[in-house]
Amino acid sequence: MAQYDYDLFTIGAGSGGVRAARFAARLGARVAVAEERYLGGTCVNAGCIPKKLFSYAAHYGEDIGHAAGYGWRVAPPTFDWTTLIANKNREIARLNGVYEKLLSGAGVTLLRGRAVLADAHTVEIDGRRFSAKYILLATGGWPVVPPVPGAEHAISSNEAFHLRELPRRALVVGGGYIAVEFASIFHGLGVDTTLVYRGERLLKEFDADLGRFLAGQMQHKGVRILFRSSIERIARTGDGSGLAATFADGSALHADCVMYATGRTPNTRGLGLEQSGVKLAANGAVVVDEYFESSVPSIYAVGDVIDRVLLTPVALAEGMVVAERLFGAGGRSLDYAGIPTAIFSNPNVGTVGLSEAQARERQGAIDVYRSEFGALKHQLTGSGEKVLMKLVVDRSTERVLGVHMVGPDAGEIIQGFAVALKCGATKRQFDATIGIHPTIAEEFVTMREAVA
């Protein structure tokens, strides 16, 4: 008779949890997954997928406007929010079904309900107890809205995906990737949009040129950006028709929607972690080692709940490392260096490798290649939109340390260069590569003069 009900019990059916569960089951483990909300986690339901769908929608109005430069004559477009929401919901429901089939097809038991730890080998769901040799925490994260007076009137990205009506005026608070994405989405859908940020530069965690250039392009497109600004309180207007956001200097802006995109916190509250001896960081993240083992040997954690790199592909990779370590040969590991990422603002941002500041700190002498230009497409549209492309290179070895871009399809372009960086490509190899002409991407292999 088996000592435990399951070999692996995963709490959370997001990207990392589902991948670990499926992979472990294929390796012969008896696996269960508990989920209290929706399958697919943040990415499928309130993150990557619906956000990218919204981003697509937001680009169409601009694309239609650009078509006039190419001879197309179309009636002024109109946008229907309810159609977008309904179609988005249908796609999310389809993906939830896909995740359920993936689990059942792998032989994983799916349990609906909130799971909490009873001890190092026991999970409880609605009064039922299940034992497991190993427990994997994959509960993700949750948006944080600061406790300013009137915060109850504001929303986070979670609610933004389910607004009954598209607001006429929106204030988006924050300077990170979620903030610039939603500011671009609202503006692209015709909303009078203001981005409010307490800092001096957008995307402070990325190469400095990216945030500065992106801000200029967003402003050029019509998004108002208020730097060094913070909202002190939010209140309903006297007639109840909207919201008034008051700033530290006493000024106020009126809006129909105030959305905070000021960070996320790991989902660890009320899971019984402390009582089970699981060590948590100051922000509530589960502290794990390089193999994702917590302070309790039988308990592991992956994804946003460990607060390392908050990206879906990273959570997937972490889940596979855990499954392989516990039930396979154990040789799989995860290298966090050179992880590419894209920001689906308008224009897009794509980046991989070290920023200029990081490279100077770690390598010392570097060369920087930077190009700013108007793409061929916009020579006929008259939009004035610009593209930024940048290479950071180690001067002594000529190895390319970072590739950065702001412009159309930046994520699609940077993915290929991420492979090159992983292979240790040098600037000389970039220079020896023939570009595809005429494309934006060819600029990365034609930059010859380092900037001062």
Q: Which residues are known to be catalytic?
A: 437
Cα–Cα distance, 3 to 72 (Å, whole number): 70
- Asked if residue 8 lies in contact with residue 132, where contact means CB atoms within 8 angstroms, the answer is yes
- Asked if residue 377 lies in contact with residue 316, where contact means CB atoms within 8 angstroms, the answer is no
Cα–Cα distance, 23 to 10 (Å, whole number): 12
Q: Name which of 50, 60, 57 is nearest 88 in CA terms.
A: 50
Question: Can you give 375-401 as a three-state secondary structure string?
Answer: CCCHHHHCCCCCEEEEEEEECCCCEEE
Q: Name which of 349, 413, 402 is nearest 180 in CA terms.
A: 349
Cα–Cα distance, 180 to 382 (Å, whole number): 24
Give the Cβ contact number of residue 432 at 10 Å. Answer: 9
- Asked if residue 132 lies in contact with residue 7, where contact means CB atoms within 8 angstroms, the answer is yes
Give the Cβ contact number of residue 400 at 10 Å. Answer: 26
60 phi and psi, to 5 degrees? -65, -40
- Asked if residue 232 lies in contact with residue 154, where contact means CB atoms within 8 angstroms, the answer is no
Torsion sign across C-alpha atoms 214, 220, 226, 228: positive
Q: Name which of 181, 317, 311, 173 is nearest 247 in CA terms.
A: 173
Cα–Cα distance, 440 to 389 (Å, whole number): 9
Distance set, CA 35 to CA 126, 137, 444 (Å): 12, 11, 44
Cα–Cα distance, 318 to 296 (Å, whole number): 18
Please compute Rg for the chain using Cα positions. Answer: 24
Cα–Cα distance, 362 to 325 (Å, whole number): 32
- The angle formed by the CA atoms of residues 16, 322 and 311, to the nearest 5 degrees, is 30
